[in-house]
Every structure is written in structure tokens, then in C-alpha cells.
Structure 1
Amino acid sequence: MSKIAFIFPGQGSQAVGMLNDFAGLSAVDEVLQQASASLGEDVGQLIANGPAEQLNLTTNTQPVMLVAGYACYRAWLAAGGRAPDLLAGHSLGEYTALTAAGTIAFEAAPKLVRFRAQAMQEAVPVGTGGMAAILGLDDDAVRAACSEAAQGEVVQAVNFNAPAQVVIAGHKAAVDRACAVAQAKGAKRALPLPVSAPFHSSLMLPAAEKLEEYLAKLSFSAPAIPVINNVDVAIEHDADRIKEALVRQAWRPVRWVEIIQALAAQGVTRIVECGPGKVLAGLVKRIDKSIEVYTITDQASLNSTLEALK
């Protein structure tokens, strides 16, 4: 039997009402109730009604995206969907994958990623950091543009999302300079991203140090399903090594192209993006056209994916 992998999205795919189609589904309601108890606030209300400005604050976005992705996964299992053979997640989505794998207890997960979000936001004053997507330039050319533009500041390639689609991050002025250099080198577009911090850049080191202290207090279990991590494109089974990789993940690049290639090398022929949006599904198609891609964003897509993966 061919292998199936589930992948979980990160920040940017959130939307007000993103779980509305699952309203009344006991598996989803249970997840929302547990998340609300964990955070001490009505998570279901925030997801259903927003407002968008609240949902888009990183300290809310990170927990609600984890909750939404995990809720979609629980809905899949409750409907009789088969357990995946492998898991992965993009940035924050790695935490959702580790929760689905049973490594992180769901009761602890929303608090953990809210702490991560706060630590990341506090690492760099709002307005001084930035991110941008560079389209139409190969990885080495993007790295070269960052080196040329740094001028004593930080600007780095931080998300290798698809061929000729790389996200850079760092000090805002350095990011702006790197965008100009990238376009001079032939990039089709250089798009500033509406984010509140330069995620996955070395400016996140202070956040990583706080995260390390927080993670030390948590109990992790060995994953019941293997998870390919962001920072090393590796499968770890030891709880301490998983924690250590999450610490480095905060300030190191997301190697998404290599993750999808690693899943294929493990024998995965079908991938399901589980959670709001279809960003990762689009990236997978650009990375490896031979992989069949499905999504679970609502009841209709869950039903069609169930039918396809029988």
C-alpha cells in the first residue's frame, strides 16, 4: 500500500469562520473546548467570529492555527480516515504535526505555541523587522542578494517554500535592500509580507532561548507517527532531540522543498494538507508533480478525501 502523509499549515492561512463548516461535529467541538480550557478564553468564539484583527495577532494566530489543524485531523479520524504514515508541518505547523503524533499533549499545545508567539514578538520591536517573498530566483541567488544587502544588518533566506519561491527575513531596511538586489538579479517579484516579526531569522535567537526554557518544563512522548522536522529534514524519536530541534527551528530556515522530497523518498505518493487554506497543497504540486495532493478544510473536502483515499 502506498504511503500517505499529512501536512499542517502555519501562520497566514487563518480566516474568520475557518471551522464553521464543522459546527456541531463532536470531534471538533471537543478540541475547541479543550483549547478554551487550556488558554482560559473562548477559542471557538475567536475562530468563528474574529474579529480578523484579533485573529491575525501572532499571539492568537499561532494557537488558533494549531487548534484548527488539529481539529481537522480529529474530524478525519472520527470519520474513519486512516492514520497517516508520516507527518510534517510548515513552521508553526510542525507543532500541530507533533500534537497529531502524540508527542505534545493537546492540553499543553495551545499554551506552548502562544508562548512561542509572545517570545518571537518580543524578540524584535514591532516595525523594525520584516519579511518578503522573492519569486523567480534560485536559492543561491537569493542567498547572494541577502549577503550583498546586509550591510552590517541581518537579512537571510528563511523559508525555502518551492522552486524559485524563497522568503527572506531580517531588519526591515536590510530586507528592503535585499528585495532591490534580488530584482536587479532577475527576480520576477519581491513582495513584502504583512507579518509582525522576522520569523526564522537569527533575530529570533532571544525567542529560541526563552522557548528552550519553556520546553524543558514540558513532558514530550515518543511520536506514534514519524514527523519530518523543519530544521534538519530529519525524523527524531527522542523527546529531548525533538525539543532541541524546535528550539533551533525558531531561528533557522524552514526547508520545505527538502521536506516534501524526503516524504517522497520515504515512499509517500499521496499528501493531505490538513487545516485551513490550501497554501501547502499548492507548494507540493510545484515541488513534485507526481504526488497526489488532497486537502481537508471543510466537510466537503474531508468527504472527498475520504473517498479518494479508501
Structure 2
Amino acid sequence: MRIAFVFPGQGSQSVSMLADYSRYGNSIKNRLSEADEILGFDLSKIVSEGPEDLLNQTEITQPAILAVSVGLYDLWQSFVSIQPVLMAGHSLGEFSALTCAGALEFTDAVSLVYDRGRLMQGAVPRGEGKMMAVLGLDDVIVENICAEASGIVTPANFNSPGQVVVAGEEQAVELVAERCKEKGARRVLPLDVSVPSHCPLMKGITEKFQERLYRIEIRTPTVPIVQNATAKPTTDPDVIRHNLVAQLSCPVRWHHCVMTMINIEISRVLECGPGKVLTGLMRRIDRATLASSLSDPKEFENLTQSSYE
């Protein structure tokens, strides 16, 4: 069986996420403790106790999700010997994928996403940016509405057929939302995020993030990574570095990433991290490919007891 691992991004976090996994070992706890040392503050306590508002701040969310996702992958590897043939991650999750594939050292990854979060938070003053999910319209229609709108607003996530997230200046996003409703969108939902990610508002921090990224080593990953910016698999460290920078201000092409996996004949996709967002998207994109979330302890047990050899 050809398995791909996918890693979630922001929005999947919750206070005490993956706490139930302590019964299987200390992998997640150990990764959070490592992150505490790297960052110089008690990330473990924020993850386990909150408050939720603090955990939801992007510079906290990003290292928190990365640490627990990598810890969950460590745990999976301790039970199951089979290796994935492909990895991908949604936005922040791409850094988790690169870490689990050996391209990034965990120490570098934690400090990098923390700095990435701080840069992103500082790129747009609070209250001036917004993200909205548009459900039930074709991608092209949403793209055209954004292109015709005044102000800065673009597609930020192509998540699945009929599910596009737009991001940009608050007034421009609200205008696009109204026009999408007029064009027949089934629902338009504001997202509770502190930063309008993956849109041109992030271009102002591109140079600083690139400088930060070039201070760390990126090795050849053990398996190809399907990157958000291109939806193409690569093992080239230079290409990976370029696409991580591009990802800040261009859309996450998740639907296209999944189609790439399907075309490579992946037979099962495992979501490794908190929540089940990517599993749900996978089922919307292609029900023929098996998809499971390791965030459910019962599912974890069932999967680790199954044979993938």
C-alpha cells in the first residue's frame, strides 16, 4: 500500500490537543518540551491549559501545531515500520512535513515557524485584514470576482471543489463576499484568524522571511514533498526554499496537491496532527482514496494494528 502523510495548518489547534496520546508514550510531550527549550517560554503549558486566545495567536499556534504533529509522527513510527512515499502539509503543515521527512531539523523548524508567525502578525495591523471561506462556487468565478474588486483581495486557499478561501483588506474581502453571495455561493463564512495569510498583504515580509530561511540548512527530504505553491513534488532543497518563501503571499493549492497525490497512485492518506480538516477535504476531493486522521486514538489503534506491508 502506497501511503502519503499530510499535516494540518492553523485552525486545527485546540487547548489540550492530542492529550489522550500520553497513554501510548511521551513522543508528543517530549517534542513540546524540546520546543519550550528552543523558544524560551512554556509552550507546553499553553497547549495543555490555554488560554485559547493565546494559543490562537499565530506566533504561538505555528510552533504548537508543528511540535504536536511531529510528536504524533514520532509515535506512529514507533508502532509501524512502513514508510510513506510522499508528504505534504497545508500552509504551516508544510514545515511539519519537511521536518518529518528530515529536510529540517526540529530545532530549526520550531524557531523558524515562530519567527514566521511573528512576521506574519506584524505584516497587517489587527482589524485591517480578513479571510472568508466561499462555499459552493467554482474556483474561476471566485477568482474573477476577486480580480474585479477594488482593494487587495485574492484567493488564499483552493481547498476542495467548491471551497475557496479569500484573503486581503477587510473592506475588499467583505465586498467579494457579497458578490459571491449574489453569484450563488451556498455559504460565505468569516474565518476567526489573526492574519490574512497567503495574499499580497504578506509581500512586505517576504524579504525578511527569506533572509531568515537562508540562515538554516534544508537537506534533501527522505520522500518527495508536494508543495503548496506549485502542487508539484520535489526533493530539491533549493526548490523547497524558494517555494516556502512564495507560499507566504500566494494561494495554498491544496486541491491540486491532493490531485497530484492521486495521480501518483497514492492508495491511502493519513492526516498527522490535531483535527480532521484535511481528512474531510480529502473525502470531498476524492472518495476513492482512503483517508484517515491519526488525531482519533481509536483510529490510531486500528491503523497501527493493521498490516501495511
Runs of 4+ in structure 1 deviating by more than 4 angstroms, as ranges, are none
**2:246 is equivalent to residue 248 of structure 1:** yes
The one-letter amino acid of 2:178's match is A
Q: For the structure 1 residues 159 and 309, does the alpha-carbon distance in structure 2 shift closer, same or farther, using more than 3 Å as the test? A: farther
Note the C-alpha offset of 1:298: 4.5
Deviations 1:260-287 (A, max 9, x none): 1100111101000011000100000000
Q: Which amino acid aligns with 2:241?
A: K
Q: Are the aligned partners of 2:28 and 2:67 in contact in 1 as well (CA < 8 Å)? A: no
Tell me the distance in 1 between the aligned counterparts of 2:248 and 2:102. Answer: 21
Residue in 2 aligned with 1:125?
Answer: 125
How far residue 309 of structure 1 moved from its aligned partner, in angstroms, is 4.8
Amino acid at match of 1:185: K
Aligned counterparts of 2:228 and 2:95: Cα–Cα separation in 1: 10
- Which digits, 9 at most, give the CA deviation of each residue in 1:224-247, with x for residues without a partner? 111100001122222222111100
What are the within-5 Å matches in structure 2 for residues 88-127 of structure 1?
Answer: 88-127=88-127
**Cα contact 1:19–1:47 (8 A) shared by 2:** no
User: Is the Cα–Cα contact under 8 Å of residues 295 and 305 in structure 1 kept in the other structure?
Assistant: no
Comparing 292-301 and 213-222, the one that deviates more: 292-301
Q: Write the letter of the residue equivalent to 1:45.
A: K
Once the two structures are overlaid, the 10-residue window that deviates more, 30-39 or 193-202, is 30-39
One of 267, 271, 277 as aligned partner of 1:269: 267
Q: How far is the alpha carbon of 1:129 from its aligned partner?
A: 0.6
Q: What is the CA–CA distance in structure 2 between the aligned matches of 1:257 and 1:281, rounded to whole Å?
A: 12
Q: How far does the alpha carbon of each residue in 1:112-147 deviate from its partner, in whole angstroms, 9 at most, with x for none?
A: 001111111111111111000000000011011112
Can you list the C-alpha shifts for 1:182-230, whole angstroms capped at 9, x where unaligned?
Answer: 1111111111111112100011011222110001110111101111000
Partner SS state of residue 122, structure 2: helix
The alignment partner of 1:206 has SS state of helix
Q: What is the aligned partner in structure 2 of residue 13 from structure 1? A: 12
CA–CA separation in structure 2 for the residues paired with 1:308 and 1:145: 47
Conserved 8 A contact 1:160-1:257? yes
Q: Which amino acid aligns with 2:270?
A: V
Q: Could you tell me which of 182, 188, 192 is aligned with 1:194? A: 192
Q: Please give the alpha-carbon distance, in whole angstroms, between the structure 1 residues aligned to 2:126 and 2:177.
A: 20
Q: Distance in 2 between matches of 1:148 and 1:267?
A: 38
Q: Is the 8 A contact 1:21 1:298 kept in 2?
A: no
Shift of 1:81: 4.6
Q: Which moved more, 1:39-48 or 1:49-58?
A: 39-48
Residues in 1 aligned to 2:113 and 2:291: alpha-carbon distance in whole angstroms: 27
Cα pair 1:276 1:297 within 8 Å, conserved: yes
Q: Do the aligned partners of 1:116 and 1:207 also contact (CA within 8 Å) in 2?
A: no
Instruction: List gaps (5 residues or longer) in structure 1.
Output: none
CA distance in 1, matches of 2:52, 2:34: 22
Question: Aligned ranges for residues 158-197 of structure 1 at < 5 Å?
Answer: 158-197=156-195
User: Is contact 1:81–1:306 with CA below 8 Å preserved after alignment?
Assistant: no
AA partner of residue 18 (structure 2): L
Q: Match of 1:37, as an amino acid?
A: E
Corresponding residue for residue 70 of structure 1: 70
CA contact (8 A) 1:102 1:223 kept: yes
- 1:148: how far off? 2.4
Asked if structure 1 preserves the Cα contact closer than 8 Å seen for 2:90 and 2:252, the reply is yes
Structure 2 counterpart of 1:175, which letter? V
Give unpaired runs (5+ residues) of structure 2.
none
User: Could you say which residue in structure 1 is the equivalent of 2:225?
Assistant: 227
Contact 2:32 2:64 in 1 (8 A): no
2:302 to 285, 301, 304: 304
User: Residue 80 of structure 2 corresponds to which residue in structure 1?
Assistant: 80
TM norm structure 1: 0.96
- What is the alpha-carbon distance in structure 2 between the residues aligned to residue 301 and residue 107 of structure 1? 30
Task: Give the direction of change, closer, same or farther, for the CA distance of 1:16–1:186 in structure 2 (3 Å limit).
Answer: same
Q: TM-score, normalised by structure 2?
A: 0.96
**What SS is found at the alignment partner of 1:275?**
coil
Taking only the aligned residue pairs, the percentage that are identical comes to 40
Residue of structure 1 equivalent to 2:145: 145
Count of aligned pairs: 307
- Cα distance in 2 between the residues matched to 1:292 and 1:46: 34
CA drift of 1:43 comes to 2.2
Q: Following the alignment from structure 2 to structure 1, what is the Cα–Cα distance between the partners of residues 70 and 231?
A: 22
| Structure 2 Cα separation of the partners of residues 177 and 83 of structure 1 | 46
Q: Is the 8 A contact 2:279 2:293 kept in 1?
A: yes
Aligned to 2:277: 279
DSSP-derived class of the 1:268 partner: coil
